[in-house]
Amino acid sequence: MFVPLKYNLRNLAVRRTATLLTAFGIAVSVAVFVAVMALVEGMKRTFVETGDPLNIIALRRGAISETGSIIDVSAPALIRNLPGVATMSAERMVYVNTARREDNSSANVVIRGVSDTGRTMRPEVRLVSGRWYQPGLSELTVSRSIASRFRDCGLGEELRTGSATWKVVGIYDAGHTAYSSEMWTEPESIAATFERRAWSDIFIRASSAGQVPSIIAMIEAEPRLDLNAQRELAYFHEQTKAAAPVQILGNIVAIIMAAGSAFAAMNTMYAAVGSRTREIAVLRALGFSGHAVALSFMSEAVLLSVAGGIAGGLCTLPLNGLATGTANWFTFAEMNFEFAITPLLLAEGVAFAIAMGLVGGVLPALRASRLSAAAAMRAL
Amino acid sequence: MSNNAGFPAYTLSNVGFVRLILKNALRNRRRTALTILSVAVSLFLLVSLRTLVLEMRGDTLMTKQSSQRLITRSAVSLQIPLPIAYKEKLARIPGVLRVSEYQWIPSWYREPNVPLVIIACDPKFMGTDPQYAIPPAELEAFRADRTGIIVPEKMMKKYDWKIGQRITLKSSVFPFDVEGTIRGRFTGPSQNALFCWFDYFNEMVRRTIPDRADKSMAFVEMTRSADVTPQVARAIDEMFANSIAPTRSESEHNFVQGFSAMLGNVTLFISAIAAAVVFAIVLVTTNTMSMTVRERRQEIAVLKTIGYRPHHVVALIAGESLAISIAGGILGIGGARLFFRVFDIYDLTNTVIQQFNVTSETVSFAALLALAMGIVSSLIPAIGAARSPIANTLREI
């Protein structure tokens, strides 16, 4: 026979102050946990959603990112004729020191020099206003988030990099992909402005999925190239590791905060047991077993923490979709992303709260179950 | 025994009052212990987060001479190198004592996922900052060997290197590996970069990517005194304003801070977490104190009957809350300081975070915060207790 749950609900309502304070404490811990993980989720999503299974990226051997790769000008000719290569785009990337609109702090924003072919190889990148850059004119077409977050990068504005001036002639949208943190122009404009003739990466599309491994093998085996090739998906997947430091920090913070909240929940539950000695005695006298009493107190602790967990999760909802940016661990360049609060993350938050409730509730519940009815009655 | 107000004087003497507070705190030992633990872990977290923010700003990496050092790089980005012809021009600017090339060579040793950086510089520039001490014989050996490398002491220990050992560092950007002989080691705040000769680097570049030869990512200038540093920076940037490669010169401190600025709102985000932690501590302690007050309603009524004034009641409860905060503070703040002394963050994070100094300033900041939170948490329960009418409470008995 179980003690009805209504008994616990009413008790929580009667001890409003303690219930609210404890639930709030749990809510704060859950909110911090969900917020940090939403940031991690947003960063990861950017990379996971970038790439096509037919695409291959070739970088200089040992380079971990496109911006840190220097490829000889002779390389594209060697790759174009490999069997199985459908189209190919050699690209130049530089990053330029650009000021954020919000606080004037600066970040490295990537300018990718990409030909028309390279653009058609990435259908996820769509023009939303203005037009695409023209060759030879120092024009930029800028991603939506860079345009809104960086100074002089909006449509019609002019961005100065050293002695060169770029005109922003269009805005593109690249969804949640890595390209949404870039500005695009013609490869020759980069060569002319930055005196950089070397390529940064060679972007290849295989004619069929079956050709992908053989193209990769041929590129790596070619001694004149000294390149590393990998699938575009794998390249960006590797960069999800950029979120690792935040994830580790988030986990440490969450665990420590949870320990604090669990102690608080334990306090509240001990007080609940202490002030209800008589009620427990009555319950036992009515025939409820020690187990039933323990279970009842455990459910009370869990109810309390679930309330806190839900409240904490709800508090973080306004963060969802909030655009922000940080430096990518791999490229040193600005990486834009949005906080992503998923249903799974909210569920994890509530599960996390339940864990706090269980840890906080178990000792007090055991204590309640061990009170002997006779002694408890005598305590009156 | 009693004064003329019929009040037991000894309970109001300061010593007696403090003893009463402590006795009260120890009545429900388990609750007090749990609250102290909760406050302690939260303060541990708070101290760690604040230290993290300070370390990210790079303040602790600065030496006395940092205010005399300028870094000049391309105004466009670090990716655009400057011609080495600039070195001569920089050396002639009034106020500049010496100039060195400053070129990063991102690399790794044995573990591809643990990035290291080699800084190619003018060997004559090495060993000029007393806070980066290099044994004189080792410095001389480095200056005499074109392929010599100077390594941080901590890194030397980590990879178990010896002086005179020949090592190959794999390059992750340039198309060559850096092979050299370890000639010396240095101690000092920054322990994440190795140093080699710029001339040696330039030779390798000339061989592999001739386009890129005779260029340096940046230059470091040492100025005559900290006072002239800002005007020297302006003079440099004006000099190159209309050249093919306009420059941006800034103090070493600003240069380092620029990197944490690139992280964007991360510091703001961490501060928000810290604020949430503080709020959580207040909730926990408030909860404890209000439970305590509720259980002691009757005895508080009795205290009032024997002559305690409302402010005595407030002081009694605030004092207990304060005692809990102080104990939690000693445990949490002291614990954090001890923890990061004993465990080297350099090893724990695989050189990502170089050091984690819990500064005295952070300790006093957290301690003040703990005291403030102790008082704030007791206010609502204490005022409630002070106001509750005696007659009603006593009737409940």
Give the three-state DSSP class for B392.
Answer: helix
Between residues 68 and 97 of chain B, which touch chain A (CB distance below 8 Å)? 74-80
- Can you give the pLDDT at residue B2? 40
State the alpha helices, DSSP H only, in A198-243.
Answer: 211-221, 232-238
Measured CA to CA, the distance from residue A269 to residue A128 in angstroms comes to 57
- Can you give the pLDDT at residue B179? 95
Q: B101: which 2 tokens? A: 């090339």
- Interchain CB contact of B293 with A (< 8 Å): no
Contact between chains at A194 and B80 (C-beta distance less than 8 A): yes
Q: A350: which 2 tokens? A: 């509530």
Query: What does DSSP say about strands B193-197 and B115-121: parallel, antiparallel, or unpaired?
Result: parallel
- Interchain CB contact of A97 with B (< 8 Å): yes
Residue with tokens 């969802």: A320
Residue B196 half-sphere exposure toward CB, CA atoms < 13 A: 26
Tell me which DSSP letter residue A326 carries. Answer: E
**B296 neighbourhood in chain A, CB within 8 Å:** none
Cβ(A357)–Cβ(A26) below 8 Å: yes
Among the residue ranges A35-39, B254-258, B264-268, the one predicted with the least confidence is: B264-268
- Can you give the pLDDT at residue A11? 87
Residue B397: is its pLDDT beyond 60? Answer: no
- Interchain CB contact of A261 with B (< 8 Å): yes
- Interchain CB contact of B325 with A (< 8 Å): no
Distance of CA B109 to the CA centre of its chain: 27
Measure B262 CA to nearest chain A CA, in Å: 5
Write the pLDDT tens digit of every residue in B135-152. Answer: 999 999 999 999 999 999
Cβ(A364)–Cβ(A294) below 8 Å: no
Residue with tokens 């924003």: A109
Average pLDDT over residues B59-85: 89
State the alpha helices, DSSP H only, in chain B.
Answer: 14-27, 29-57, 86-91, 136-144, 153-159, 198-208, 229-239, 252-262, 266-295, 297-305, 310-342, 345-348, 360-387, 390-395
Q: A93: which 2 tokens? A: 């990337």
- Interchain CB contact of A264 with B (< 8 Å): yes
Cβ(A68)–Cβ(A201) below 8 Å: no
Amino acid at position A364, single letter: P
Cβ(A21)–Cβ(B283) below 8 Å: yes
Contact between chains at B287 and A31 (C-beta distance less than 8 A): no
Average pLDDT over residues B260-266: 78
Contact between chains at B211 and A198 (C-beta distance less than 8 A): yes
Q: A108: which 2 tokens? A: 């490295």
For residue B351, give the nearest of B60, B55, B115, B119 by alpha carbon: B115
Q: What is the mean pLDDT of chain B?
A: 88
Residue with tokens 């909860």: B287
Cβ(B244)–Cβ(B150) below 8 Å: no
- Interchain CB contact of B281 with A (< 8 Å): yes
Distance of CA A48 to the CA centre of its chain: 10
Q: A10: which 2 tokens? A: 């009413």
Cβ(A141)–Cβ(A170) below 8 Å: yes
Cα separation values, B32 from A251, B39, B388, Å: 27, 10, 24
Amino acid at position B27, single letter: R
Contact between chains at A162 and B287 (C-beta distance less than 8 A): no
For residue A312, give the nearest of A261, A342, A350, A267 by alpha carbon: A350
Residue B209 half-sphere exposure toward CB, CA atoms < 13 A: 20
Measured CA to CA, the distance from residue B268 to residue B270 in angstroms comes to 5
Residue B159: is its pLDDT beyond 60? Answer: yes
- Interchain CB contact of B280 with A (< 8 Å): yes
Cβ(A174)–Cβ(A128) below 8 Å: no
B291, B343, B383: which to substitute to probe chain A, counting the most A Cβ within 10 Å?
Answer: B291
For residue B69, give the nearest of B120, B122, B151, B125 by alpha carbon: B125
Furthest CA-CA distance within chain B: 99
Contact between chains at B287 and A197 (C-beta distance less than 8 A): no
- Interchain CB contact of B44 with A (< 8 Å): yes
Cβ(B372)–Cβ(B46) below 8 Å: no
Measured CA to CA, the distance from residue A137 to residue A181 in angstroms comes to 22
Q: A361: which 2 tokens? A: 């509730």
Residue B205 half-sphere exposure toward CB, CA atoms < 13 A: 21
Measured CA to CA, the distance from residue B372 to residue A90 in angstroms comes to 61
Q: B31: which 2 tokens? A: 């609750």
- Can you give the pLDDT at residue B8? 52
Residue B345: is its pLDDT beyond 80? Answer: no
| List of residues 6+ apart from A192 with CB closer than 8 A | none
Contact between chains at A264 and B30 (C-beta distance less than 8 A): no
Cα separation values, A132 from A138, A185, A246, Å: 12, 8, 36
Q: B92: which 2 tokens? A: 């002639």
The closest CB to that of A324, out of B34, B262, B265, belongs to B265
Measure B145 CA to nearest chain A CA, in Å: 27
Measure B75 CA to nearest chain A CA, in Å: 6
Task: Provide the b/e sequence for A174-183 (b: ≥16 CB within 10 Å).
Answer: bebbbbbbbb
Contact between chains at A256 and B283 (C-beta distance less than 8 A): no
- Can you give the pLDDT at residue B4? 44
| List of residues 6+ apart from A241 with CB closer than 8 A | A329, A330
Is residue A238 packed enough to be buried (19+ CB in 10 Å), middle (13-18) or exposed (0-12)? middle
- Can you give the pLDDT at residue B3? 44
pLDDT tens, position by position, for chain A (380 residues)?
Answer: 788 888 889 888 888 888 998 999 999 999 999 999 999 999 888 888 788 899 999 998 877 788 888 888 889 999 998 999 999 999 999 989 899 888 778 888 999 999 999 999 999 999 999 999 998 889 999 999 999 999 999 999 999 887 789 999 999 999 888 899 999 999 999 998 888 888 999 999 999 999 999 999 999 998 888 888 999 999 988 888 878 888 888 888 999 989 988 998 998 899 888 888 888 888 888 888 889 999 999 999 999 999 999 999 999 999 998 888 888 767 778 888 889 999 999 999 999 999 999 999 999 999 998 887 777 777 65
**B384 neighbourhood in chain A, CB within 8 Å:** none
Write the pLDDT tens digit of every residue in B24-53. Answer: 889 889 999 999 999 999 999 999 999 988
Cβ(A186)–Cβ(A77) below 8 Å: no
- Can you give the pLDDT at residue B260? 78
A12, A16, A17: which to substitute to probe chain B, counting the most B Cβ within 10 Å?
Answer: A17
- Can you give the pLDDT at residue A216? 94
- Can you give the pLDDT at residue B11? 52
Measured CA to CA, the distance from residue A181 to residue B227 in angstroms comes to 40
CA B347, B351, B357, B362 torsion: positive or negative?
Answer: negative
pTM of the model: 0.84
- Can you give the pLDDT at residue B206? 94
Give φ, ψ of A108 to 5 degrees: -90, 120
**B77 neighbourhood in chain A, CB within 8 Å:** 94-97, 108, 161
Q: For residue B127, what pLDDT band results from cuts at 50, 70 and 90?
A: confident
Q: For residue B1, what pLDDT band results from cuts at 50, 70 and 90?
A: very low
For residue A114, give the nearest of A132, A130, A96, A98 by alpha carbon: A132
Amino acid at position A134, single letter: Q
- Interchain CB contact of B343 with A (< 8 Å): no
- Can you give the pLDDT at residue B151? 95
- Interchain CB contact of B38 with A (< 8 Å): yes
Residue B54: is its pLDDT beyond 90? Answer: no
The closest CB to that of A267, out of B34, B52, B246, belongs to B34
In angstroms and rounded to an integer, the radius of gyration of the C-alpha atoms of chain B is 31
Question: What H or E segment, with its residue span, contains residue A57?
Answer: strand A55-60
Measure A311 CA to nearest chain B CA, in Å: 14
State the alpha helices, DSSP H only, in chain A.
Answer: 5-14, 16-48, 75-80, 116-120, 144-149, 187-194, 211-221, 232-238, 244-275, 277-286, 290-316, 343-370, 373-378
